[in-house]
Amino acid sequence: MATDYFANIPPIAFEGPDSTNELAYRFYDKDRVVLGKRMEDHLRFAACFWHTFCWPGSDVFGAGTFNRPWHRGANDAAAAADKRAVAFDFFTRLDIPFYAFHDVDVMAEAHNVAEHRRNFAEAVDDLERLQAASGRKLLWGTANMFGHPRFAAGAATNPDPEVFAFAAMQVRDAIEATHRLGGANYVLWGGREGYETLLNTNLGRELDNFGRFLSLVVAHKHKIGFTGAILIEPKPHEPTKHQYDFDTATVYGFLKRYGLENEVKVNIEANHATLSGHTFEHEIATAAALGIFGSIDANRGDPQNGWDTDQFPNSVPELTLAMVEILRAGGFTTGGFNFDAKVRRQSMAPVDLFHGHIGGIDTVARGLLNAAALIEDGRIDAARAERYAGWDGAFGQQVAGLDLAGIADLAVSSAIDPQPRSGQQERLENLVNRFV
């Protein structure tokens, strides 16, 4: 029976760096206090339904390899219930506090609006029971508005108002379910909010519809009293040629345009960051600087492959730098680390799901420990601060108080001849390597 799926895998526990047990945490020690906070509270790990329980191991060139019991046959009520039960067993065995889902991930397949609402409502009832029984919590909920053929041309940006309405129906139910389940956030990933060709696209009109949809969601959130954060997830391309939520800076401009910059934050995915031409830590630092840092979808891409590979994070240096930026930003409030990551198509054994998550969790945990050590050491922050020290001096203060002509006159009268100074990049990179 499906709920026995992981029966032979013991609960995963912290055993320390020297443990040779491959099914244990070597670094993630949830109660260890780092910079004044428990690791569990710092990292707020979540596992996701879609990659881990819904995806059958298919890709563009081949059929699913996973053959989970609940993938055989139709996705009916029984299969959906099995899937939910196995998932909560998994979350519990991993001993992480959170999970995340799309509406269609957790429910039996529906063929019309009424069936959608009914099947989803049944699933939510069950999730509520499973949460209570397991002590697991919802990091965020969302609605899948990209998988069904009706969303081929987008959801909120679809040229057809009926699709906009269908999306509104899904989001209303999904945000209300998230609220009821005590979710900490509600996420919108604009899966097909973008275009394939400008030839058939009215860019301005689609952006306005997208802005309006988001405004409606924000208004509804307040109406129902949901106090979690609304998050947008940037991605530059894929599945569409151009995604409107290209990167964090683009999302910021979009939010400003529709007056939503104080209402909506970003859910940053590592693989989306690198596909958009940025480092993961750049996206975090940018969101922090712009005041819209929300949450993280933890994964990694392949630097040689130009698509979203959604692999589990395994680079300790990368996660160290990302954690430095998260700590500088004050850490998470409602957000957390959700594993939007999938085991490879060849990793079809049930235990591979554990290896993937354990590796990811320990990589992030090492990143936190390293980042905390680096910050406590203080040398990198000191070097950075020293670089800008001139702005605190007399000349800097003068420049800060003058208009363009005044500053230009000052430059002339002072006959300034500023000399370049070393940015010390290699030294700072060596310092980082002391902590990874």
Residues identified as active-site? 102, 105
Query: Is 283 labeled as ligand-binding?
Result: no
Phi, psi (rounded to 5 degrees) for 243: -95, 135
Q: Which of 171, 188, 232, 266 binds a copy of itself (CB under 8 A)?
A: 171
> Least distance (Å) from a copy of itself to the CB of residue 133?
28
The two structure tokens encoding residue 208: 């306005």
- In this chain, which of 128, 239, 333, 375 binds a copy of itself, going by CB under 8 A? 239
Region binding a copy of itself by CB under 8 A among candidate stretches 83-91, 133-141, 251-259, 263-271: 251-259
From the list 155, 127, 149, the residue with the least C-alpha distance to 217 is 155
Q: What CA–CA distances, in Å, run from 277 to 9, 236, 248, 310?
A: 39, 9, 12, 16
Under the criterion CB under 8 A, does residue 433 sit at the interface with a copy of itself? Answer: yes
In the set 12, 343, 368, 372, which binds a copy of itself (CB under 8 A)?
Answer: 343
- State yes or no: residue 225 binds a copy of itself (CB under 8 A): no
Q: Judged by CB under 8 A, does residue 110 bind a copy of itself?
A: no
Q: Looking at 2-10, 120-128, 234-242, 332-340, which segment touches a copy of itself (CB under 8 A)?
A: 234-242
Ligand-binding site membership of 281 (annotated): no
Per the annotation, does 4 bind a ligand? no
Q: Can you give the three-state secondary structure of 14-38, one letter per residue? A: ECCCCCCCCCCECCCCCCCEECCEE
Residues in the chain: 436
- Provide the mask over 172-191, with x wherever binding to a copy of itself is found by CB under 8 A and - wherever it is not: xx-----------------x
368 within 8 A of 323, measured Cβ to Cβ: yes
The amino acid that residue 345 corresponds to is: R
User: 């569409």: which residue's tokens?
Assistant: 240
Left if phi > 0, otherwise alpha if psi is -120 to 50, otherwise beta: which for 16?
Answer: left
Q: Please name the helix (run of DSSP H) or strand (run of DSSP E) that holds residue 232, with its range, or none.
A: strand 229-232
Q: Among residues 102, 220, 265, 272, which is the contact residue for a copy of itself, using CB under 8 A? A: 220
Query: Of residues 42-71, which lie at the interface with a copy of itself (CB under 8 A)?
Result: 57, 59-65, 67
Nearest residue (CB) to a copy of itself, 13 versus 216: 216
231 binds a copy of itself (CB under 8 A): no
